[in-house]
Amino acid sequence: MNKIKPSLAKGTRDFGPEEMELREYVINIFRNVFDLFGFRSIQTPSIENIDTLTGNYGDEGDKLIFRILNSGDFLKKSDKNDFKESLLLKSKISNKALRYDLTVPLARFVSMNQDKISIPFKRYQIQPVWRADRPQKGRFREFYQCDVDYIGTNSVVCEAEIIDLVYTLFNKLKIDGIDFKLNNRKILQGIAEVYGLSNDFNDLCILIDKIDKIGLEKFEKELIKKGYNSKSVRSITELFNFNGSNLEKINFIEKIISDSEIGMDGIKEIKKLIEVNNNFTIDFSLARGLSYYTSSIFEVKSNKSNIGSLCGGGRYDNLTENFGLKNMPGIGISFGIERIFELLKDKEDPFIEFLKNKILISYLDSKYLPNCFSIAKKLRDENISVDLISDDIKLKKQLKYANKNNISYVMIIGEDEIKSNSYTFKNMENGTQVKNSIDEIIATMKSLKTNV
């Protein structure tokens, strides 16, 4: 066997113990909150048939799908002529690919399991996806997505619950300065109708979505370049700047778009939401880029960070139509979980301090090992994490091992200690040490847990 230089595949990452502790802690909080709100977890396979995936993400998206080479004699279905035509050859040598997102697998899952699931179907899904993107800072070829959806309901309960879920989640993650911004595509359509900008509504939404980056002035210029009336365009940007409470905003826009039936539908929907949960901010300049949203749209940022959108989503009408299942409206929210990991990594993180509450058992001679095992067992029976030094190394090196592995306490076992049931118990955080019985040590460790 030849020796090879170990390396990672382009655009992929290893996660060592430190990173995994953060990631698992955060994912646990996500799971707990989703569970608190009655959402249930599903998982779909990493590999999907190629037909399931292609055609959903546009031409550019389709190019980013990682295809898997057929196994066995992968050339058996192709002949020499296919070789000239790479697209044709591709379809013959590869019939499956890696998951590109969690939305299309959800649509496939719902279509295949309509008899088994109960409607509304409330699911969440936290899994990696793969994209053959050019890797760059912060952009990887494998990354996690985290989606929460209601399938099969038009009820305003969904928006109201999602708002509470978002605040609960970020509260538990100790990310503050959260603002839940909401708009309604129907109101945007009303605005477009009234000002004569309905020609290509989807293009308009994509352009509105860019205002954050390009600014209002450039936005106006782009619209005027497209041939729209400059007065109308100015009216729209003025409207985007309107300030006030949610009700004031609704009253203001109602006068402007009263002639648009669909616009008034949108207003009715927001009014209904305000009655049950008014804990959000209407933002008429929120558009979201994706074309499949049909009603409520929303996005969440923290005003304490410039990391960008932390989550966003909206209502859609036809998630499963491609798979032949009609009348399945829904609403979804997608959390930028990788971005949230990054945000929390940079914070001082007292909230994962408790992870460090482990004890390293260190012994002065290996003849005490049987005693060490019985002490370890006692502590573990009390649900206290214990690591045990395995090799004959000096105490100094043992303490270094504790530091490197985020272990905050070291317990030292020797002849006298065993005889007197009084063990040296060293706090690695502040350097202090005391003599304690095993029961005292258990009590100390338990008090740390309840203080979290």
Residues 337-396, interacting with a second copy (CB under 8 A): 358, 360, 369-370, 373, 376-377, 380, 383-391
Regarding 317 and contact with a second copy (CB under 8 A), the answer is no
CB of 83 or CB of 247, closer to a second copy: 83
Supply the minimum distance, in Å, between the C-beta of residue 7 and a second copy: 6
Choosing from 45, 58, 138, 289, the residue that interacts with a second copy (CB under 8 A) is 45
Size, binding site for a second copy by CB under 8 A = 116
Phi, psi of 331 (to 5 degrees): -150, 135
Which stretch in 120-128, 175-183, 346-354, 408-416 sits in contact with a second copy by CB under 8 A? 120-128
Residues 75-104 that bind a second copy (CB under 8 A): 75, 80, 83, 86, 89-90, 93-94, 96, 98
| Interface region with a second copy, contact rule CB under 8 A, candidates 24-32, 257-265, 309-317, 334-342 | 24-32
Report if residue 318 touches a second copy, rule: CB under 8 A: no
Of the candidates 440, 375, 358, 383, the residue with the CA atom closest to the CA atom of residue 413: 375
* Distance from C-alpha of 374 to C-alpha of 361, rounded to nearest angstrom: 11
Strands (E), 364-418: 385-388, 409-413
Question: Which of 61, 128, 135, 414 forms a contact with a second copy (CB under 8 A)?
Answer: 128
User: Which among 56, 22, 72 has a CA at the least distance from the CA of 320?
Assistant: 56
61 is a site residue for a second copy (CB under 8 A) = no
Least spacing, CB of residue 6 vs a second copy, in Å: 4
The least distance separating a second copy from the CB of residue 135, rounded to whole angstroms, comes to 11
Using the rule CB under 8 A, is 422 a contact of a second copy? Answer: no
Stretch that binds a second copy, among 67-75, 177-185, 186-194, 231-239 (CB under 8 A): 67-75
The CB-of-202 to a second copy minimum distance in angstroms stands at 15
Under 8 Å between Cβ of 27 and 128? no
283 touching a second copy, by CB under 8 A = no
Which residue from 182, 180, 202, 178 is spatially nearest to 297, judged by alpha carbons? 182
Q: How far is CA 383 from the centre of its chain?
A: 30
State which residue, 48 or 269, has the beta carbon closest to a second copy: 48
Helices 246-256 and 185-194, interaxial angle, to 10°?
Answer: 40
**Residue 139 engages a second copy in binding (rule: CB under 8 A):** no
The correct pick among 147, 149, 161, 269 for binding a second copy (CB under 8 A) is 161
Residue 164 CB-density burial (10 A; 0-12 exposed, 13-18 middle, 19+ buried): middle
Report the residue from 1, 217, 394, 430 that binds a second copy according to the rule CB under 8 A.
1
Question: Could you give the CA distance from residue 224 to residue 232 in angstroms, rounded to a whole number?
Answer: 9
DSSP 258-323: TT-HHHHHHHHHHHHHHHH---SEE-TT---S-TTEEEEEEEEEETT--S--SEEEEEESBTTGGG
Query: CA 128 to CA 142: how far, in whole Å?
Result: 6
**Sign of the alpha-carbon torsion through 358, 362, 366, 367:** negative
Name residues contacting a second copy, limited to 177-236 (CB under 8 A).
Answer: none
Residue among 174, 304, 400, 435 that touches a second copy (CB under 8 A):
400
Q: Is 122 in the site for a second copy (CB under 8 A)?
A: yes
Nearer to a second copy by C-beta: 155 or 420?
A: 155
Type and span of the H or E element at 110: helix 103-112
